[in-house]
A and B are shown apart, each in its own frame.
Chain A
């Protein structure tokens, strides 16, 4: 049952083929069996989940409440849920009890979803590997010696291990796309402001996005349909209508123009990853898409400006805790926040001020003659936990830095991006490509990813730990 996709599970409940209690019970059993081994749960709320599942089954006899009726999900531990501890992977907030519920969680509940609990994450969402010194590393279900990717590490591990059918995470520099790519899942970072951030612990207001992580583009489409849209509790949330993402998935990409960058993105890509990326382009070509080489602007500058925004805003959020509770941060996280204390306000304002012109330049140059960009998601094989924690600090820093090579600049540009499974490396770890689109073109990304997933089965493969 847990091998179904999210949409298959929802449809099976709706048709009465399986009950929400059966699915939820199975998910709880798997969470108890694998949750500790993968270290992917911050909190398992079995009793509340079963109670919600029973209620869902009772009400289904009348009418399904929504497109997620009875489906067990769990989310990154930075979404506030009133009355619950939301620790954000930190020691600082280990006793923080939320006074409100995040809008996106309310929307999932209104669509009928059952909440299984909160998922482990990197401390304050500050690691592309999922590193968490306080509560241990989440493990990659494909090989537990390897990182699951972060910062939505528990989301990646729990969805890949078939414990839950989908999960919400956040993405400031790749935190949805890294675990999606490393765990063989599909993860969508929407356009900045497409999804409400009310009730979500921020890392960087100018960059944070909330999005879905699931097993397929279709699953992500259904989750996006539920969580997208204007929100009175978040005045920054876009008021433009939310397209009918799932209804638009028809598998047809004939004539779609796919841009492949001539520079920057492929610089650190290993030959084996390149091979998988080329194969994914071949599959899209066979579907009738056209692949066109494109130029991209200076991404090293864009990455630098992203770094200034992220660290200054994070330092603003964490400054008082850094003064009073520095010992409660891991060194790796504190050392990533602290440079934000050293940038003058003029640098920060300059980084913000150049954003519109650089985004315009990127869209005009890289996306001017194509519909989507095809990029690596992670340019190197999924590293081991040891690779990213032990040994020469310079090597560790280099590996951690290169993980975000293809993701973090996209957050500065505010553009939507989706990570899509593209096969496996010689060690059996997932490889992924990334599609990037123009602002608010999530539907096009989901459409292209879904078309690819109709002719490939990488997204359907289960890891050994499932």
Chain B
């Protein structure tokens, strides 16, 4: 049985990939997804909107 992650490219992205390519991508994407989610759980605030980054660049020369 395929995991949800393995189903994403065909079902949601409309990109057909060989099983070996899916396995390779999932092997990378799974731990990366986990790491980003854990970091977001630990530090991301509701108020942290992406556009704030450009504001930061201009505010901190």
**Interface on A for B, CB 8 Å cutoff?**
191-193, 238, 240, 301, 304-305, 307-308, 315, 319, 322-323, 326, 334-335, 338-339, 341-344, 346-347, 349-357, 359-360, 363, 414, 438-441
Q: Is the CB of A356 within 8 A of B33?
A: no
Question: Are A322 and B15 touching (Cβ within 8 A)?
Answer: yes
**Known A356-B53, A359-B53: A338·B32 in contact at CB below 8 Å:** no
Q: Which residues of chain A are near B16, meaning CB under 8 Å? A: 323, 326
| Chain B neighbourhood of A350, CB < 8 A | 36-37, 39-40, 44
Residue numbers in A under 8 Å from B61 (CB-CB): 438-441
Report yes or no: A341 in contact with B39, Cβ–Cβ below 8 A. Answer: no
Compute how far the CA of A438 lies from the CA of B53 in the bound complex, rounded to whole angstroms.
14
For the complex of A and B, the 4 pairs showing the least CB-CB separation, nearest first, are A342-B29, A352-B50, A350-B40, A356-B52
Task: Given contacts A339-B25, A339-B32, A354-B43, list 16 more A-B pairs with CB under 8 A.
Answer: A193-B54, A238-B57, A323-B15, A335-B21, A341-B8, A341-B9, A342-B5, A342-B29, A343-B29, A343-B36, A346-B37, A347-B33, A347-B36, A357-B43, A360-B60, A439-B58
Whether the Cβ atoms of A338 and B25 lie closer than 8 Å is yes
21 pairs of residues in contact across A and B, judged by CB atoms under 8 Å: A193-B54, A301-B35, A305-B39, A323-B14, A326-B17, A335-B24, A341-B8, A341-B17, A341-B25, A343-B33, A349-B50, A350-B37, A350-B40, A352-B50, A354-B39, A355-B50, A355-B53, A356-B48, A356-B55, A414-B57, A438-B61
Residues on the A chain within 8 Å of B13, using CB = 315, 319, 341
Measured CB to CB, the closest approach of chain A to B13, in angstroms, equals 5
CB distance from A294 to the nearest CB of B (A): 17
In the complex, whether B19 has a CB less than 8 A from a CB of chain A is no
Do A414 and B33 touch across chains, with their CB atoms under 8 A apart? Answer: no
The distance from the CB of A105 to the nearest CB of chain B, in whole angstroms, is: 25
Tell me whether A352 and B36 are in contact in the complex, defined as CB-CB below 8 angstroms, given that A339-B29, A343-B29, A360-B60 are known contacts.
no
> Given A240-B58, A308-B32, are A353 and B39 neighbors across the interface (CB < 8 Å)?
no
- Distance in angstroms between the alpha carbons of A304 and B56 in the assembled complex: 21
Interface centre among B8, B37, B49, B53, by most chain A C-beta atoms within 10 angstroms, is: B53
Which residues of chain A have C-beta atoms less than 8 A from B8's C-beta?
341-342
Please give, as numbers and ranges, the residues of chain B lying within 8 Å of A305 by CB-CB distance: 36, 39
**Cα–Cα, bound, A256→B57 (Å):** 22
Interface-central residue, A351, A353, A357, A440, by most chain B CB under 10 Å: A353
Chain B interface category by residue count: 35 or more
**Which B residue sits closest to A353, measured CB to CB?**
B48
Cα-based distance from A354 to B16 in the complex (angstroms): 32
Check A307–B43 contact: CB distance below 8 A.
Answer: no
| Least CB distance, B44 to chain A, in whole angstroms | 5
B28 contacts partner chain A, Cβ-Cβ < 8 Å: yes
Partner of B57, one of A192, A346, A354: A192
| Known A323-B15, A343-B33, A353-B48: A338·B53 in contact at CB below 8 Å | no
Whether the Cβ atoms of B44 and A343 lie closer than 8 Å is no
Q: Chain B residues near A191: list those with CB within 8 A.
A: 57
Complex CA–CA separation, A307 to B13 (angstroms):
19
A342 to chain B, nearest CB (A): 4
Given contacts A341-B25, A354-B48, are A438 and B36 in contact (CB under 8 A)? no
Given B25, B40, B57, B60, which contacts A335 in the complex, CB threshold below 8 Å? Answer: B25
A200 to chain B, nearest CB (A): 19
What's the Cα separation between A438 and B57 when bound, in Å?
A: 8
CA of A171 to CA of B56, assembled, Å:
21
Residue of B nearest to A331 (CB): B21
Whether A439 contacts B36 in the complex (CB less than 8 A), given A319-B15, A350-B44, A353-B48, comes out as no
Complex Cα spacing A39 to B58, Å: 40
Docked pose: A441 CA to B25 CA in angstroms: 38
Complex formed: what's the CA distance from A335 to B61 in Å? 37
